[in-house]
Amino acid sequence: MNRFFGYCGLWAAALFFAIPQGLAQTAALAPVRGQITDATSASPLPGAIVRWLGTTEATSADEQGLFSLVRPAQAGTGRLIVNFLGYRADTLVVGAEGAPFLRVALRRATELAEVKVEGRTQAYSALTPTNSQVITSRDLTKSACCNLAESFETNAAVEVSTTDAVSGAKQIQLLGLDGAYSLLTVDNQPALRGLATPYRLGYLSGTWIESIDIIKGMGSVVNGYESISGQVNVRLKEPDKTDRLLFNAYGNDLGKFDLNLNVSSPVGKRGSTVLLLHSDHLGRRVDRNGDQFLDLPLATQYNVLNKWKYKSEKGLVAELGVGALRETRQGGQVDYRPDVSGSYYGTTMTATRYTGFNKTSYTWPSRPYQNLGLLLNGTAYRFDSQYGRRTYDGTQNTGQATLLFQSILGTTAHTYRLGLSYLHDNYHEVYRTGLTTLPETPEQRYARENRFRRERVPGAFAEYTYQNAKNLTLVGGLRLDRHNLYGWFLTPRLNVKYDATASTILRLAAGRGTRVANPLAENTGMLVSSREFIIGQNLAPEKAWNLGGSFTQYFTVAGRPATFVADYYHTEFQNQVVADMYSSPNQLVLLNLYGRSFSRSLQTEVQVEPVKGLQAKAAYKFLDVQTSYAGNLLPKFLTPRHRLFANLSYATAFDKWRFDLTGQWFGRRPLATGPGHGYDPLHDPAPAAPTASDLQFTSRYVLFNTQVTRAFKRWEVYAGAENLLNYRQANPIIGASDPFGPNFDAAMVWGPVVGRVTYAGLRFQLQ
């Protein structure tokens, strides 16, 4: 351990002491950076072209309107030309000394005042040092996207799976690891973590989302120490940039209805606000496979979020938001009624969530590269749930604060960020099995059923970014946190981007992540079975190293832009809270890692536009995820080793008609031997831990989703079908006829349960 800290210290010293040498070498070569916006609305103009007059040096702005352009080789002053279709071109004179951050506000061309121009950005950013993919608001309209869980249906990087066949909970997988290992942020602040993990994908409406950033591998140390496989950042609608009014209504043949209303308005000269409303309801009892269990739980949700924003003329920007959620769910047998006693199996869940946040930043008017920010957020989350005779209730109160300062060292080729953070988490979980136990006192029973954890984590971090004038970007970060229960967390991270050519980009990412597991919340799907939960004592924090990289090639097909991306990431756990379903068929054993646990992820993807209006993308993913169970290294159950993905999108002129088709092929998945496989715990001896040759596997299958959209001036109507071929997993619930018996298991879900779902909806917008 001392040697490890010594290496980290040498690495940090080499990184920061190398800064002054780079200053002298690159001061005159620092690239020019800036942001291009609309002069009226101040909204960014993605795709705007920036070039040096008289040269071939040019670039385009990203989805935030930001650009970075290398200076021409000749000395002296230069003229920068900025163009965007439908706007008047602008020319700026940039001096040779320094590297100013330019803010360019383009005005609309009067002769094109009636033309609506929408830029289509590249899904894979060429500017970010991390391997980042963007799901835009346009991508979100390619499918129903009623909530965040459905927002990844046209994306190959993230998989969404159902945890069991009763509760309806869903989780994402990134790099082959469960969603708990990827950091979920909302507007770049950690959110929906801890006990909210099982149902969090349903707590953000799709119409609230402006875009989604998917970052594979190690991200920034600014966002904390918890990320291991990557980060999913959800950007919500901004009060000063979104539509004045957006109404969306959705319904499907299962009887589910979804209503959304977004309303924004200016407040005075400098303020703005947006009110986001969402409600969904499924009240129809659906049992298409005839097993007497609901295919989807009855559910009702009410969700509201109100954001306020203020922008002064002197560099001060303040944002404030408050939100509230209420959700109820009921699953289980068709005849189950929670208010009537009987012998039917059922699940119920009631959740309430209140959240608030504040983001305040100040940018020095004479130094646009220097700013100070304060980020605050707090959440109160409570749920009460029942799974047959078991009950699982919990409360989580969270407060987070981050103070961040950013500036440069000499020129904008060298930037740094320094900050302090504080995390407060207060957990209380109550788990009752409903079974008779050995004689115990009330105090002993209370201690067995109640789990308390209070975390207080102050931390500090530093991050340095170097970008030369040609082709290299390096981001190195280090943070140190002091956990009141587990001591010091050291988090080093490094991201490197190298532009081998103007169209070829190489990236490398390496670093460490640490998180404290919530074993009950992260395995609630296993509660819908007869398995007994065995939770080990003294569970340690999960720690893992992640190393990987990507290759991005931009090219043209028939004169139109295309992209090829290949990436590989290896995650190696130093410790993990392992959910062992292999060693005992009637138990779920949760223990610290003994042996190895790793994930290897390889993905290739190509995106092309062979003819105008037709966009196509295809991807292949290979996953090798293995963990030691009782001394045997076995693949993670229900994780496919191979996956294929394809998406076709076609839009007619002016986007009047849009057609989308998505297909996914899933390879075989290993199954864990469960209580539904004939094991009788009363008469059969305990089985030996299986080996790789003993494993059983699921079938391969294909899914197709499709949607058609017709757009009018302010209206859009759409209709579609999910699981077009009506593929369903046979017998998703084992032992359904005796749910209170020893063979009941609804957690081995690997395919669709419902079958084909058709839907229709409409959108109304006022910009």
CATH number at residue 675: 2.40.170.20
Residue 56 and residue 191 in one domain: no
With residue 22 as reference, give the H or E element that holds it. Answer: helix 19-26
Residue 674 and residue 536 in one domain: yes
Give me the helices (H) in 81-214, please.
137-140
Residue 72 and residue 107 in one domain: yes
DSSP assignment of 250-271 equals EEETTSEEEEEEEEEEEETTTE
Residue 4 resides in a domain? no
Residue 21 resides in a domain? no
Q: What does the alpha-carbon distance between residue 605 and residue 626 come to, in Å, rounded to a whole number?
A: 24
What confidence score (pLDDT) does residue 102 get?
80
Residue type, 667: G
In the sheet that holds 159-162, the strands lie side by side as 159-162, 170-174, 177-178
First to last CA, the chain: 58
Residue 298 and residue 204 in one domain: yes
Q: What does the alpha-carbon distance between residue 584 and residue 597 come to, in Å, rounded to a whole number?
A: 19
Q: What does the alpha-carbon distance between residue 75 and residue 77 come to, in Å, rounded to a whole number?
A: 7
What confidence score (pLDDT) does residue 95 get?
60
- State pLDDT tens for residues 616-643: 999 999 999 999 998 889 999 999 999 9
Q: What does the alpha-carbon distance between residue 384 and residue 393 come to, in Å, rounded to a whole number?
A: 4
What confidence score (pLDDT) does residue 8 get?
45
Residue 340 resides in a domain? yes
Residue 64 and residue 181 in one domain: no
Domain boundary among 112, 143, 162: 112
Q: What does the alpha-carbon distance between residue 244 and residue 281 come to, in Å, rounded to a whole number?
A: 26
Residue 102 and residue 232 in one domain: no
Its pTM surpasses 0.95: no
Domain count, the chain: 2
Residue 124 resides in a domain? no
What confidence score (pLDDT) does residue 413 get?
86
Q: What does the alpha-carbon distance between residue 679 and residue 683 come to, in Å, rounded to a whole number?
A: 9
Residue 442 Ramachandran class (φ > 0 left, ψ -120 to 50 alpha, else beta): alpha
What confidence score (pLDDT) does residue 109 get?
60
Residue 3 resides in a domain? no
Residue 519 and residue 638 in one domain: yes
Residue 8 resides in a domain? no
Q: What does the alpha-carbon distance between residue 175 and residue 387 come to, in Å, rounded to a whole number?
A: 30
CATH of the domain at 84: 2.60.40.1120
Residue 188 resides in a domain? yes
The CA distances from residue 380 to 104, 134, 215, 226, in Å, are: 42, 30, 27, 20
Low-confidence ranges of the chain (pLDDT < 50): 1-29, 74-77, 97-98, 110-120, 676-684
Residue 105 and residue 191 in one domain: no
Residue 368 and residue 240 in one domain: yes
Domain boundary among 112, 144, 174: 112
Q: How many CB atoms lie within 10 A of CB 365?
A: 9
Q: What does the alpha-carbon distance between residue 98 and residue 30 come to, in Å, rounded to a whole number?
A: 8
419-451: b or e for each residue (b if 16 or more CB lie within 10 Å)?
bebebbbebbbebeeeeeeeeeeeeeeeeeeeb
Residue 41 and residue 187 in one domain: no
What confidence score (pLDDT) does residue 476 get?
97
Using DSSP bridges, classify how beta strands 587-592 and 532-535 pair: parallel, antiparallel or unpaired. Answer: parallel
Evaluate whether 335 touches 313 at the Cβ level (below 8 Å).
Answer: no
What confidence score (pLDDT) does residue 512 get?
97
Q: Which domain holds residue 42?
A: 31-112
What confidence score (pLDDT) does residue 2 get?
45
Q: What does the alpha-carbon distance between residue 593 and residue 607 come to, in Å, rounded to a whole number?
A: 40
What confidence score (pLDDT) does residue 68 get?
83
Q: What does the alpha-carbon distance between residue 23 and residue 20 come to, in Å, rounded to a whole number?
A: 5
Strand partners, 715: 764
Residue 6 resides in a domain? no
Residue 95 and residue 163 in one domain: no
Q: How many CB atoms lie within 10 A of CB 686?
A: 12
What confidence score (pLDDT) does residue 695 get?
87
Residue 520 and residue 550 in one domain: yes
